[in-house]
Amino acid sequence: MTILVTGGAGYIGSHTVDCLIRRGFDVVVVDNLVTGHRQAVNPKARFYKGDVRDANFLSHVFDREHIDGVIHFASVSIVPESMRDPLHYFDDNVEGTITLLEAMRDHNVKRIVFSSSASVYGDPKRMPIKESDPKVPTNPYGETKLMMERMMNWADVAYGIHFIALRYFNVGGAKLDGSIGEDHNPETHLIPIILQVALGQRNQLQIFGDDYPTKDGTNVRDYVHVLDLANAHILAMKWLLRGGHSDIFNLGSSTGFSNLQMLQAARDVTGQPISASMAPRRPGDPSTLIADSSKARKILGWKPKYDDIHKIISSAWKWTRKHPNGYEK
Ligand code: UFG
């Protein structure tokens, strides 16, 4: 079975490529390397550098390879950046998905698993969040993911392209040997920033807001290990390969941790004091996001193995210590 992974040089993509190869799949990776890293891609994957918005490039890849299914990660995914430059997000995420679906339609490829996000829900009041709950995104990033889901739905109706949308909550951690991990430039995510402070690369963590309606006033998020997420993509692809219908699943641990609790957990794991201060709210941040992931467990048989915040942080810490400057240096 040959699986095309778009964005396979990115954080979640590279872990999924690695898992696919270790499970015996043949893997083709497409990535424009704007935010991804060539070194993150398992060398057994066939790599094509290019952009999913480039129809000629995609057509060339689909002509050369016999693709059985697509896992689509390629997108921009930083909430605060999307607030500053929404059109960039609509161009990259929505336009990229249109071009990819057109290429799939034209090459008769009928299965796609893709990255959606908890940010499609906006700022929901009821926790934990179920897939059927209202979708009212509070930032352009979440809006693009919701549009991508809707497009997939109509592409299924019209062209018979079956899809699984996986709505990730907050992803963390790294491959357990520390050989691949999270490397964004600039870094905006909580866990890597906390660990950069632990390593002495930053002076301080700024915590964005302590006046939210949560137990300690800071935002609450639901963290899932990147390896558990990678495994969910494989289960979803297997579901489609078995003839399963299109569907949408939340992926989270169903437990919420506040930003202050995350800081404390990182202090426990690293043994470092990790200095922190309070800062104003970050625009677009929902107060609390906690998943109800029972549907993925029931239908896909997904069983997270690293369902513990300390395991998530300690694997990220191993990667950070091994690669203090990420992939490049
Ligand atoms: N935070 C800080 N200080 C920092 C960085 C982050 O306080 O320096 C806080 C944020 O305000 C937020 C929490 O840490 O409360 C988590 O922030 P991240 O930037 O790590 O992650 P987000 O929750 O903004 O977004 C992530 C993914 C999205 C996904 C979302 C779903 O990046 O793709 O989780 O929950 F949609």
| 187-208 residue pLDDT tens | 999 999 999 999 999 999 999 9
- Counting from 1 in the atom list of ligand 1, the atom nearest the Cα of 191 is 20
Distance CA 114, CA 164 (A): 6
Beta strand pairing status for 223-225 and 170-172? parallel
Q: Which two tokens stand for residue 161?
A: 């392209």
Task: In whole angstroms, give the CA distance from residue 94 to residue 97.
Answer: 5
Mean pLDDT of 57-67: 98
Name the band, by pLDDT with cuts 50, 70 and 90, for residue 259.
very high
- Ligand 1, CB cutoff 6 Å, lining residues: 77, 79, 117-119, 169-170, 188-190, 193, 205-208, 219, 221, 259, 282, 285, 289
- Structure confidence at residue 190 (pLDDT): 98
- Select from 133, 128, 134 the least CA-distant residue to 254: 128
pLDDT for 244: 97
Q: Where are the domains of the chain?
A: 2-172+223-251, 190-221+254-322
**Identified catalytic residue from 141, 212, 223, 306:** 141
How many whole angstroms from 282 Cα to the centroid of ligand 1?
9
Ligand 1 centroid to residue 188 C-alpha, Å: 8
* CA nearest ligand 1 atom 10, residue: 208
Reference 48, options 137, 181, 56; nearest CA is: 56
Q: Supply the DSSP string of 106-144, one letter for each residue.
A: HTT--EEEEEEEGGGG-S-SSSSBPTTS----SSHHHHH
- pLDDT-derived band at 283, boundaries 50, 70, 90: confident
User: Is 121 one of the annotated active-site residues of the chain?
Assistant: no
- At 102-124, the pLDDT tens digits run 999 999 999 999 999 999 999 99
- Quick check: 302 pLDDT over 80? yes
How much is the mean pLDDT over the chain?
A: 97
Whether CATH 2.130.10.10 fits 2-172+223-251: no
- Percent of the chain having pLDDT more than 70? 100
Cis peptide leading into residue 186 (ω within 30°):
yes
Look at the alpha carbons of 304, 274, 195, 127 in this order and tell me if their dihedral is positive or negative. Answer: positive
* % of the chain beyond a pLDDT of 90: 96
Query: From its phi and psi, is residue 122 left (phi > 0), alpha (psi between -120 and 50) or beta?
Result: left
192 cis-preceded (ω within 30 degrees of 0): no
Judged by phi (left if over 0) then psi (alpha if -120 to 50, else beta), residue 200 lies in left
ipTM of the complex: 0.96
Q: How far is the CA of 305 from the centre of ligand 1 (A)?
A: 23
**Mean per-residue pLDDT, 296-312:** 96
pLDDT of the residue at 328 = 79
Least Cα distance to 19 among 231, 321, 164 occurs for: 231
> pLDDT of 9-38, one tens digit each?
999 999 999 999 999 999 999 999 999 999
* Nearest to 184, CA basis, from 24, 27, 327, 14: 327
**Residue 326 and residue 274 in contact, taking contact as beta carbons nearer than 8 Å:** no
* pLDDT surpasses 90 at 157: yes
Protein residue with least CA distance to atom 23, ligand 1: 170
Which neighbouring-strand residues pair with 3?
27, 69
Q: Is the pLDDT of residue 285 over 70?
A: yes
How much is the pLDDT for 131?
98
Contact 19, 227 (CB under 8 A): yes
pLDDT band at 284 (very low <50, low <70, confident <90, very high): confident
CA-CA distance, 45 to 16, in Å (whole number)? 11
Half-sphere exposure of 162 (CA within 13 A, CB side): 15
**Residues contacting residue 10 through CB under 8 Å, at least 6 positions apart:** 31, 35, 36, 40, 73, 74
Q: pLDDT at residue 155 above 90?
A: yes
Q: What 8-state DSSP symbol labels residue 28?
A: E
Q: Are 218 and 290 in contact (CB under 8 A)?
A: no
Instruction: Please report the pLDDT score of residue 329 as a whole number.
Output: 59
pLDDT for 281 beyond 80: yes
Fold of the domain spanning 190-221+254-322: UDP-galactose 4-epimerase; domain 1 (3.90.25)
User: Residue 71 contacts by C-beta under 8 Å, 6 or more apart in sequence?
Assistant: 3, 4, 5, 6, 13, 16, 20, 112, 113, 114, 233, 237
Q: Binning pLDDT at 50, 70 and 90, where does residue 301 land? A: very high
